[in-house]
Chains A and B, each alone.
Chain A
């Protein structure tokens, strides 16, 4: 597998943060190296800057806040990475999936008293989403943007009709609440879930045949198909990964606030995509990694945290995130150009 990892069409690193691209025959090239590892540098630089110059950033309480920020969106983003790498743009339905997952968890556990049953029910819903999305995009070759848009409409419509739009909240002494409150030092349990998910999905992407196929498919659909691979299953698998991310993300979100409502998860689609892209995964597909996505999530969370600490208003925050997305990808593009020149 390592040989194929290194051999990508444009000579760039396809794996996470290792691989070639550094010392070629021309010697060490700064810009491509930076573009590859840029996100790490940026994140480290940002964190250092904040720790030194922004009051209170480095406190334990604030670190917990950053983790709490990152956990739900991070879990969703690492799942959605598979869809992006498969060159299917993004999965808009994570919005309705997160809401459904959160509501199902609380509603079912409240009425049946069993958290396990609730999780099972939510898991079933996630399966349906993944299969429907994956089938429409993988077998019927329909456009992923429109397919996931329509499943969002359908999903939210069903959710609101079924849940009546009410807020559900769990009992104060329940296991869900306990999970949401639990911490190990400054690490909330949700952060550990995020890290576990990242490691698991990273393993799947880098070390399993399925993961390899997703990347191959993303970088060259036709070749993958001609090689005799059943591409439909690859796409279904990618959307199932995204559904898994949304499922667990919804659980974590519900546990954090011990409430769930059909408006949960609003904005997660583009936020997750932004994190994925800032992390360095290409929207064209075929290149990227789950670890990069985690970095992108951390970067965006730290930035948002900093902006609130600095008292910046919502409008300014949005402008900053937009500028950041463009800047991050610009640097990558310019570095690639300089490297190729």
Chain B
């Protein structure tokens, strides 16, 4: 299994479209990329939204805001999933960090404590995975419960208001053009993480760790350290999301993050991330989150009854996840073989 799906020698931007050889090379690079399905979905959703609910694009800052809401946590999650691990605790990390921040009167100190808390949570998660040796699904499931409880205990089961309320409201206002600080932070996060997993050696090794852990060990990659880094990224990003949400809301809600967990998984998986690790990209998650954001905003604007909205989102998600190109090939191949009476099944995707 190849280490990385990102061919850093031949980024699309750097290719010269002159000769036929380059063109076929480009096709190869694109074919290996995992975001194809996400792009297809995005095109569909964006086109339909453009036609039926143009406000999605004319008030693009609203859609970008929704994207930042779903996408920030999804980005951190992607870093963990690339390594073949899972972080279910992101939702509670978000809520807990918000509560921590609001519980401290000094705003700067509160933000610092919250972000630090996110890092610590990441370290604890990684500890259980690496040192104790538990499956990350279970470890983070336990943390999900634990942190949710902690958020309730710390907040007294009620929302905690920010002392520096005005600062919070100011944070929610547009900063550069119509873009609010949330969107700008999100953009920075996307760039930072994309650079990290594609250009920084430690980040690129995430793919190796996820693709074949034993081989990664044998290749001399400090797997444990990478796992710690990955969980710390996820914890930090979730805490950051909690800080941003709390600032914009001017209060911390211990029940926050309910919809975030599954939406961010959906965004990552639509974006082509493989839950077993080793495959996927930050860009893919971004595209997946964008599809979901446009879909949600368009549906809200359309005034369609919420039950129907959920059915639509569920159907689109189901179709998107069923139509993985490699498996469709296998399924159709099997179906063909069935009709031809042949007993030879095709090899399955890894």
Q: Which residues of A contact B (CB under 8 A)?
A: 89, 92, 136, 139-143, 145-147, 149-158, 160-161, 221-222, 225, 270, 273-274, 277, 282-284, 313-326, 329-330, 333-334, 336-337
27 CB contacts below 8 A, A to B, read A136-B318, A136-B321, A136-B322, A141-B349, A142-B321, A147-B322, A150-B314, A150-B315, A150-B318, A151-B314, A152-B314, A154-B311, A154-B314, A155-B314, A161-B305, A161-B307, A161-B311, A274-B141, A315-B153, A316-B149, A317-B149, A318-B152, A319-B149, A321-B145, A323-B146, A329-B142, A336-B133
A333-B153 in contact (CB<8A): no
Chain A residue contacts of B327, Cβ below 8 A: 140-142
Interface positions of B from 301 to 350, Cβ below 8 Å from A = 305, 307-311, 313-315, 317-318, 321-324, 327-328, 330-331, 345, 348-349
| Residue in A141, A145, A323 whose beta carbon sits within 8 Å of that of B142 in the complex | A323
Q: Determine chain A's interface SS by DSSP, over half rule.
A: helix
B153-A329 in contact (CB<8A): no
B142-A322 in contact (CB<8A): yes
From A165, which residue of chain B is reached at the shortest CB distance? B307
A158-B311 in contact (CB<8A): yes
B318-A141 in contact (CB<8A): no
From B140, which residue of chain A is reached at the shortest CB distance? A326
Q: C-beta contact mask, B243-272 vs A, less than 8 Å → 1, else 0?
A: 000000000000000000010011001000
A326-B142 in contact (CB<8A): yes
Chain A min CB distance to B127 (Å): 10
Interface positions of B from 254 to 299, Cβ below 8 Å from A = 262, 265-266, 269, 275
Chain A residue contacts of B171, Cβ below 8 A: none
Interface positions of B from 166 to 218, Cβ below 8 Å from A = none
Asked whether any CB of chain A lies closer than 8 Å to the CB of B26, the reply is no
CA of A142 to CA of B143, assembled, Å:
27
Q: Determine chain B's interface SS by DSSP, over half rule.
A: helix
A270-B141 in contact (CB<8A): yes
B307-A157 in contact (CB<8A): yes
| Residue in B138, B143, B331 whose beta carbon sits within 8 Å of that of A283 in the complex | B138
Asked if A160 meets B307 with Cβ closer than 8 Å, knowing A277-B138, A329-B134, the reply is yes
A330-B134 in contact (CB<8A): yes
Chain B residue contacts of A154, Cβ below 8 A: 310-311, 314-315, 318
Chain B residue contacts of A140, Cβ below 8 A: 322-324, 327-328, 331
Chain A residue contacts of B50, Cβ below 8 A: none
Asked whether any CB of chain A lies closer than 8 Å to the CB of B11, the reply is no
Asked whether any CB of chain A lies closer than 8 Å to the CB of B139, the reply is yes
B321-A146 in contact (CB<8A): yes
Q: C-beta contact mask, B109-146 vs A, less than 8 Å → 1, else 0?
A: 00000000000000000001000111101110111111
Asked if A315 meets B307 with Cβ closer than 8 Å, knowing A150-B321, A330-B128, the reply is no
From A152, which residue of chain B is reached at the shortest CB distance? B314
* Closest CB pairs A-B (n = 5): A322-B146, A318-B149, A153-B314, A315-B152, A322-B145
B149-A322 in contact (CB<8A): yes
Asked whether any CB of chain A lies closer than 8 Å to the CB of B151, the reply is yes
Chain B min CB distance to A241 (Å): 20
CA of A315 to CA of B143, assembled, Å:
13
A157-B266 in contact (CB<8A): no
From A232, which residue of chain B is reached at the shortest CB distance? B334
CA of A264 to CA of B307, assembled, Å:
16
Chain A min CB distance to B267 (Å): 11
Asked whether any CB of chain A lies closer than 8 Å to the CB of B148, the reply is yes
Chain A min CB distance to B303 (Å): 15
Asked whether any CB of chain A lies closer than 8 Å to the CB of B157, the reply is yes
| Residue in A158, A221, A222, A325 whose beta carbon sits within 8 Å of that of B141 in the complex | A325
B348-A141 in contact (CB<8A): yes
Chain B residue contacts of A139, Cβ below 8 A: 331
Chain B residue contacts of A283, Cβ below 8 A: 135, 137-138
Asked if A315 meets B315 with Cβ closer than 8 Å, knowing A283-B138, A322-B149, the reply is no
Chain A residue contacts of B348, Cβ below 8 A: 141, 221-222, 225
B141-A147 in contact (CB<8A): no
Chain A residue contacts of B142, Cβ below 8 A: 322-326, 329
Asked whether any CB of chain A lies closer than 8 Å to the CB of B150, the reply is yes
A161-B152 in contact (CB<8A): no
From A273, which residue of chain B is reached at the shortest CB distance? B141
Besides A274-B141, A324-B142, 9 new A-B residue pairs in contact (Cβ under 8 A), listed by A number: A142-B327, A143-B269, A152-B314, A283-B135, A313-B157, A315-B151, A320-B149, A322-B147, A329-B142
Chain A residue contacts of B146, Cβ below 8 A: 318-319, 321-323, 326
Chain B residue contacts of A151, Cβ below 8 A: 314, 318
A319-B265 in contact (CB<8A): no
CA of A89 to CA of B137, assembled, Å:
9
| Residue in A142, A147, A157, A325 whose beta carbon sits within 8 Å of that of B145 in the complex | A325
B134-A319 in contact (CB<8A): no
Chain B residue contacts of A320, Cβ below 8 A: 149
Asked if A329 meets B145 with Cβ closer than 8 Å, knowing A150-B321, A157-B311, the reply is no
CA of A157 to CA of B150, assembled, Å:
32
Chain A min CB distance to B291 (Å): 13
| Residue in A153, A315, A316, A325 whose beta carbon sits within 8 Å of that of B138 in the complex | A325
Chain A min CB distance to B346 (Å): 11
B314-A146 in contact (CB<8A): no
